[in-house]
Amino acid sequence: MHKALEGITVLDLGQIYNGPYCSLMLAYQGAKVIKIEPIQGENLRVRRKGDSHELLMLNSNKLGASIDLKSNEGKQVFLDLVKQADVVVENFSLGAMERLGLDYEKLKQINPRIIYASGKGYGLEGPYAHRPAMDLTMQAMSGIMSTTGFPDTPPVKAGPAVSDFLGGIHLFGGVVTALYQRQQTGKGQLVEVSMHDAVYPTLASALGAYYSQGGDTPERTGNQHSGKASAPFNVYPTADGYVAITCVTDKQWKNLLILMNREDLLEDDRFRMNVNRAAHTDIVDNIVENWTSKQYKSEIEQRLVDYKIPHAPVQTIAEVADDPHLKYRNMIREVYHPKEGQIKIPGSPIRLSDSPLEDISAAPIMGEHTEEVLENMLGLSKDDLSQLIDKNVIHTNKTKSNI
């Protein structure tokens, strides 16, 4: 069975999370993805002084070539690759590709079919376009931070770098849309995604509250229902962590009362319907917390499942790393890495029945496939390669121990 993007060649200049995740999704759907890094490695290898787990998570199924794009010979090698490629993915800071002389205007002269995917923090233009796009400041600027946390504590960033990944997955969608359009037009084009743009729709609930209630909306509501219109709806401490519990129907609430041995409250008008409970949220939360705090997560889990009350344990990272549902679904995969041994990395969240993700190979060692790519795609000889290595234009993992 052919994979969906078989035959598509991607030059992945991505660094850290945004660009690499876009290209990972392309690789997982069958594209040939060549991760092109500077001689010293992409920024994530430099920052973490080696092949961190983050790098290994986001660069499976890619070939790795190490080319100095600042040198004239390196630029020429890259442009020769562009002639044969379908997609270029980059998420450098604004202006970097222009300074290298490798912006879209240049590349489309070389190859009018090239799809040039540009991921940026704030896009290619606008008043913020030159701001550095780091997770802390992006979460502050975009509104994620203001709406996260408790009413009585400062705004706090979401733990995961969600804006980077929202950027990367929107960029993937844009690339495949451009590939689809190219089938009709025969031409490539520029695909642009700003991480800051990609966060805005996710604020739907907060914007909804803002537009309907104006300045009276509390920005942060902790784990409570944003309209404070439902109870119980919160995260409650257990003896060994926390559990999230919510009752959508009055029947679920009654079942919870029975489970908690609080049948004495079954006829209490303060809690009869959701609107009543919502008016007494703090009391409801106290009642539930009295019950949860004395038990372990696993005991509560079983009882809430039996009584059909919507809930979930607040899973720690250790628990997520071992999650039975992710493992069952092959979303956590074990692959062999020559330096790190057996490692656990993600499968694909995008599942196509006719383009299944079967084999996963670990992220490339830096420069692991430089020779292979340049020989196979550009017909370079061993002598050509030696000269480029000697001039430090390219790097292969055979020339020195590089980590």
Give the single-character DSSP code of 365.
Answer: P
- The edge-to-edge listing of strands for the beta sheet with 241-246 is 233-238, 241-246, 311-313
Contact range with a second copy by CB under 8 A, out of 82-90, 279-287, 319-327, 385-393: 319-327
* Known active-site residue 12: no
342 belongs to the binding site for a second copy (CB under 8 A): no
141 belongs to the binding site for a second copy (CB under 8 A): yes
Give DSSP secondary structure letters for 255-271.
HHHHHTT-GGGTT-GGG
If the CB atoms of residues 200 and 336 are measured against a second copy, the closer one turns out to be 200
Work out whether the CA dihedral 2, 4, 7, 13 comes out positive or negative. Answer: negative
If the CB atoms of residues 173 and 360 are measured against a second copy, the closer one turns out to be 173
Max intra-chain CA distance, the chain: 88
Q: Strand, coil or helix: what is 175?
A: helix
- Say if residue 310 is preceded by a cis peptide, omega within 30 of 0: no
Site for a second copy in 236-275 (CB under 8 A): 237, 242-244, 246, 248
Q: Which of 222, 276, 303, 337 binds a second copy (CB under 8 A)?
A: 222
Tell me whether residue 82 is exposed, middle or buried, using C-beta atoms within 10 angstroms of its C-beta: 0 to 12, 13 to 18, 19 or more.
Answer: buried
If the CB atoms of residues 80 and 219 are measured against a second copy, the closer one turns out to be 219
Site for a second copy in 182-201 (CB under 8 A): 183-185, 187, 189-194, 196-201
137-158 burial, b if ≥16 CB within 10 A, otherwise e? ebbebbbbbbbbbeeeeebebe
Tell me whether residue 375 is exposed, middle or buried, using C-beta atoms within 10 angstroms of its C-beta: 0 to 12, 13 to 18, 19 or more.
Answer: middle
Site for a second copy in 40-69 (CB under 8 A): 48, 52-54, 57-58
Contact range with a second copy by CB under 8 A, out of 141-149, 280-288, 360-368, 389-397: 141-149
Which residue is catalytic, options 51, 86, 164, 285?
A: 164
Site for a second copy in 73-132 (CB under 8 A): 122-123, 125-129, 131-132
Site for a second copy in 282-311 (CB under 8 A): 310-311
Q: How far is residue 236's CA from residue 212's CA, in Å, rounded to a whole number?
A: 30
Q: Which residues contact 394 (CB under 8 A, 6 or more apart)?
A: 39, 65, 66, 67, 68, 74, 77, 367, 370, 374, 385, 388
Q: How far is residue 303's CA from residue 307's CA, in Å, rounded to a whole number?
A: 6
Q: Which of 14, 64, 174, 367 binds a second copy (CB under 8 A)?
A: 174
If the CB atoms of residues 194 and 370 are measured against a second copy, the closer one turns out to be 194
Q: How far is residue 221's CA from residue 229's CA, in Å, rounded to a whole number?
A: 12
367 belongs to the binding site for a second copy (CB under 8 A): no
Compute the least distance from the CB of residue 97 to a second copy, in Å. Answer: 15
If the CB atoms of residues 137 and 295 are measured against a second copy, the closer one turns out to be 137
Size of the site for a second copy (CB under 8 A): 134
Contact range with a second copy by CB under 8 A, out of 18-26, 85-93, 275-283, 382-390: 18-26
Q: Which of 282, 328, 383, 400 binds a second copy (CB under 8 A)?
A: 328
If the CB atoms of residues 310 and 386 are measured against a second copy, the closer one turns out to be 310
Q: Fill in the per-residue mask, 19 to 38: x = in contact with a second copy (CB under 8 A), - = not in contact.
A: --x--xx---x---------
If the CB atoms of residues 184 and 261 are measured against a second copy, the closer one turns out to be 184
Contact 335, 60 (CB under 8 A): yes
Compute the least distance from the CB of residue 131 to a second copy, in Å. Answer: 7
Compute the least distance from the CB of residue 168 to a second copy, in Å. Answer: 9
The residues annotated with a catalytic role in the active site are: 164
